[in-house]
Amino acid sequence: MLEDQILEKSKTTFNGEDINDGLETISSEEAIKMRNAFKNLVLNTPQKSIPMGISPVLTNFSSAVNELSSHFGSIGVGQKYRPQSMSSKHTGSLKTRGELDEIPVEIVELEDFGRLHFETHTSSEVLFKKNRVLDIQDMLVHTKNPITTSMTMLVNEKDIERAVEAFKLLLRVIDPTAKKSDFIFRSIKAFILYGIDYPTLRDELFVQICRQVTLPPNEINKSWDLISLHGWEIFTIAAASFSPTKAFLRYLVSFVRKQKINTPEQSAIFKLISITEYFIKHTMLHGPRSLPPSFAEIESLMDMNPLYTEIIIVGGKPTKFMITMTTTSHELLKTLSRSIGLNDYTGWSLYEVTGVGERAIKPSEYICDVLAEQESHKVPLFDTVDEIPRKTKLVFKKRIFRVTQERKSFDAVEYNLLYHQAVENVRNYVYPILPEEAVSLCALRMQGEFPLQDVSEKTSITLL
């Protein structure tokens, strides 16, 4: 009777925690095996070997944990037992930046994904073996020939056709004889657009790129360095534009990290691989882009030059800030506020200002999407403030009318910015004021900026 009570207590709670949570996910045979082993350890341990003040149930549970770890994975005393398949890093749940940093470090092979999700391909490259079915390894190495069907299993016939067309674009982009030109840039944009517009194709496109940056074993290709460079350029752009599915994520990250390990650190490809790894995490957190990258973005990446955009701060000169393909409006806002000494940027936003109106850019919106949109409309970007006609600009400002719940600010930098913003709004007829009111405001501004030392009472009244 006492033995049954001890067993029942020990197998249901430990330090107030339910240890059965997680056992329901394993098979009944494993559960029975675990409970029998647990029972033997609990009931067969001599009571006199336990130090005073320590519960025999807790001490034996610790022993049971150590004994069972060889069968069910390592867990620590005081922790709930959970099968490895229940771990968050295997479920693909990516909700926080911390979880993004825990994308599996272990190396998993792309071939394992291929055995589950690849289509069957036949060889047309080897003489007398035209009908030979390619194995997974052959499907994951570089080829010069187009594919006749998708790499992965796709249900929609239209998607299969798009996958075949995308591979043709990829062959064109990584061609070692291809030179940087508008034709190549358009091919890159067309390839990326498939991934943005058709989410079901994203894993397919990543698999295609992985294949084309993998040199076949025991093969010597004099142009491989250039092919690989072009391949990783479009790999980086794709990672900045859309993300893989959660099912494919750990295979993709593992492939990238494996390539990184085998690449010299001083090479341009190593830098591209590092950027690709960062972009994968970033797009998983913030979502895909709305538009394919602009020509300026592609050229900047190919030349390995930083990318800049110009922000107009009211009351100051236009200032250039370095961005990446995945910089969001919120991230740029933080950088800008820090650079000008603005402590609290609550209520401040980046605005896209055109000759016909303005809009606040959402915090999660990619800055480069704004740049790409303007390029698609053939509108010159970021002209100076005084140029006429006025073109699209990015302006840093805050709403003038404060809500009653908003706290009062004592930040001198903010007051100065608000003053210049108000002046700009008056100058651009944002506020409906009478000519007499405009004259009075001009006079007050002159009085503030050029104070008069000796004025008559009449002059003072006129200025006020």
pLDDT of residue 416: 80
Question: Which tens digits make up the pLDDT trace of 106-150?
Answer: 678 888 898 888 887 776 544 444 567 788 888 899 999 999 899
Position 432 scores a pLDDT of: 64
Nearest to 191 by CA among 294, 292, 303, 300: 292
Round to whole Å and give the CA distance between 239 and 230.
14
pLDDT of residue 131: 64
b/e per residue 36-55 (b: at least 16 CB within 10 A): eebbebbeeeeeeeeeeeee
Alpha-carbon gap, residue 445 to 462, rounded angstroms? 13
Pairing between β-strand 319-323 and β-strand 358-360 as defined by DSSP bridges: unpaired
| Residue 200 amino acid letter | T
Tell me which DSSP letter residue 407 carries: P
Sign of the torsion formed by the C-alpha atoms of 281, 282, 288 and 292: negative
Query: What tokens were used for 203?
Result: 């894993």
* pLDDT confidence of residue 251: 94
Q: How many CA atoms lie within 13 A of 224 on its CB side?
A: 13
Predicted pLDDT at 443: 82
Q: What's the CA gap between 19 and 4, in Å, rounded?
A: 17
pLDDT at 382: 38
**Predicted pLDDT of residue 103:** 55
Residue 175 has what pLDDT? 92
Rounded average pLDDT per 10-residue block, the chain, 464 residues: 44 41 46 56 46 39 42 37 34 45 66 85 56 81 91 92 96 88 92 96 96 89 92 97 94 94 93 96 94 93 92 84 94 93 88 83 93 68 36 80 56 80 77 76 78 53 40
d(CA 155, CA 128): 32
- Helix (H) or strand (E) holding 393, with range, is strand 393-398
| CB 21, CB 80: distance < 8 Å | yes
Residue 323: the pLDDT is 95
Q: What is the pLDDT of residue 252?
A: 95
End-to-end CA distance of the chain: 97
* SS3 of residue 111 by DSSP: helix
DSSP 47: G
| Of 42, 29, 37, the residue nearest 3 (C-alpha) | 42
Tens-digit pLDDT profile for residues 184-241: 999 999 999 999 999 999 999 999 999 999 998 888 888 999 999 999 999 999 999 9
Q: CA 253, CA 100: separation in Å to the nearest integer?
A: 11
**Residue 345 pLDDT:** 86
